Amino acid sequence: MWRHIASNALTFFIVALFLLAGIVSFGSKQYSEAGPLEQAICLQVESGSNMRRVTQNLADEGAIKSAAVMRIGADYAKKANNLKAGSFLVPQAASMEEIVDIVTRGGRNTCGTEVVYRIGVTRTQVLVRELDPASNRFIEIAAFNPAQDEVPSAYATVKAETDTRYRVAMAEGVTSWQVLDALRNLDLLEMDVAETPAEGSLAPDSYEFVPGTTVSSILDQMMAAQSQILTEAWVGRADGVPLASPQEALILASIVEKETGVPEERRQVASVFVNRLNQGMRLQTDPTVIYGITKGEGILGRGLRQSELRRETPWNTYVIPALPPTPIANPGRASIEAALNPDSSPFIFFVADGTGGHAFATTLADHNRNVQAWRVIEAERANNDGG
């Protein structure tokens, strides 16, 4: 009798093991396979939430088949306690495993409403926009110039929401004074800086922040990023570049940044200035003259006068025989790399060609012809504007 009972118990145990193995296998497959979500969604994870609440929310949204399986999978992966608050884009057909990774890895929020403070060369603009999960594109809700325009109601509305994200987007070629002036006027930042950062020391990029962040902390991020970019580029510089220090590289990069907005031209423009430095020629670049007049505090807003081209300032490269003493703006990574790894070219002149780019020349005669062609284009444009 006992042998019979033991045999039945063993059989039951074996069957149970097979059933358990089958359940584990099924759950594991369900956890890692493509999910049922037919269209991407923006998942809001509130501060203080937990995996049970999040998985139930996902199940209610139709993003996962089983909240329990996702929780077990998160526990097994030791990620259940790593949940991050924020707004996360969950793509179409995302598996439970992928979703767990999305909501526990941290970093920038990937969807929802955001306010972007764009610091540009000519103006600062505030953009309020929202990501459409279906198209993965941002839809603009409002845009305004805080120095000139009336603040739209949409801005006040999103500021009152707890899940709105904020970031400062700094363009290439903006001066340090412009950056500080823009940050000073952002109503969500705490102003704790009086002195303008060194010209060229801030990396153009996008920086997230939360309301109440200090201006100094954002500037510290910008300076740390620029320092790293410059250090890496200096290590990888081409042989024979006539620049004695990373600071000189930053100065030349800022000139390249202000001289062309065409990415493909940066290394070619840099080659012109490198050739001039190697030949002992003056750089003769208008942006340096303008910086000598404005000191980077705003834009000139008009053409240069002949008297200004002849006036001696530390930045007037029509007068001084070498690089100016400081950068004239904050250059981006591409311009820094171009200054330290310029094209190999014979060019020592360039002028605008009417397409947004430049015409390059090796002789003064060719350059003069290019200048004349540009003046014809300028005259035609002036006539058309006047008509």
Task: Provide the pLDDT for residue 201.
Answer: 97
| CA-closest candidate to residue 339, choices 240, 293, 278, 273 | 273
- Tell me the pLDDT of the chain averaged across its residues: 86
User: Does 12 reside within a domain?
Assistant: no
pLDDT one-digit tens code per residue, 274-321: 999 999 999 999 999 999 999 999 888 888 888 988 898 999 999 998
User: Within a domain: residue 8?
Assistant: no
Neighbours of 92 (CB within 10 A): 16
What local confidence, expressed as pLDDT, does residue 48 receive?
A: 78
Give residue 258's pLDDT band: very low, low, confident or very high (50, 70, 90): very high
Residue 256 reports pLDDT greater than 80 = yes
Other CB atoms within a 10 A radius of the CB of residue 386 amount to 6
Check whether 6 has a pLDDT greater than 60: no
In Å, how far are 38, 216, 382 from 296, measured between CA atoms?
Answer: 51, 20, 28
255 with 355, same domain: the answer is: yes
**Residue 159 predicted with pLDDT over 60:** yes
d(CA 131, CA 111): 5
The reported pLDDT for the residue numbered 274 is: 96
pLDDT at 259: 92
- Please tell me the number of Cα atoms within 13 Å of 141 on its side-chain side: 18
**Pair 259, 124 in one domain:** no
* Whether pLDDT at 331 is above 70: yes
Q: What is the domain extent for residue 304?
A: 235-386
Which tops the pLDDT comparison, 102 or 357? 357
Question: Helices in 236-265 by DSSP H: which ranges?
Answer: 246-259
Closest CA to 305 of 297, 295, 323, 293: 293
Tokens of 38: 């037919």
How many other C-beta atoms lie within 10 A of the C-beta of residue 161? 9
Whether residue 359 is found in the same domain as residue 245: yes
248: which 2 tokens? 């000189």
Taking Cα atoms as reference points, which of 169, 165, 190 lies closest to residue 85?
A: 165
What is the band of 385 on the pLDDT scale with cuts at 50, 70, 90?
low
Tell me which of 260 and 39 has the higher pLDDT: 260
Residue 15 banded pLDDT, cuts 50, 70, 90 = low
Residue 153 vs residue 132, higher pLDDT: 153
Asked whether residue 10 carries a pLDDT value surpassing 60, the answer given is no
Distance CA 231, CA 102 (A): 33
In Å, what is the CA distance from 110 to each residue of 54, 90, 336?
17, 9, 29
- Confidence band of 172 (pLDDT split at 50, 70, 90): very high
Is the Cβ–Cβ distance between 124 and 145 less than 8 Å? yes
Same domain (yes/no): 349, 210: no
Number of domains in the chain: 3
Residue where a domain terminates, one of 104, 122, 156? 104
Q: Is residue 86 part of a domain?
A: yes
Q: What is the mean pLDDT of residues 51-60?
A: 84
Asked if residue 10 is part of any domain, the answer here is no
Rounded Cα distance between 350 and 311, Å, is 22
Q: What is the pLDDT, as a whole number, of residue 333?
A: 96
| CATH classification of the domain holding 54 | 3.30.1490.480
Q: What order of strands is seen across the sheet that includes strand 113-119?
A: 137-144, 124-132, 113-119, 165-170, 206-209
Q: Is pLDDT above 80 for 143?
A: yes
pLDDT grade, residue 26 (50/70/90)? low
At residue 131, φ and ψ (nearest 5 deg) are -80, 130
Check residue 16 and give its pLDDT.
54
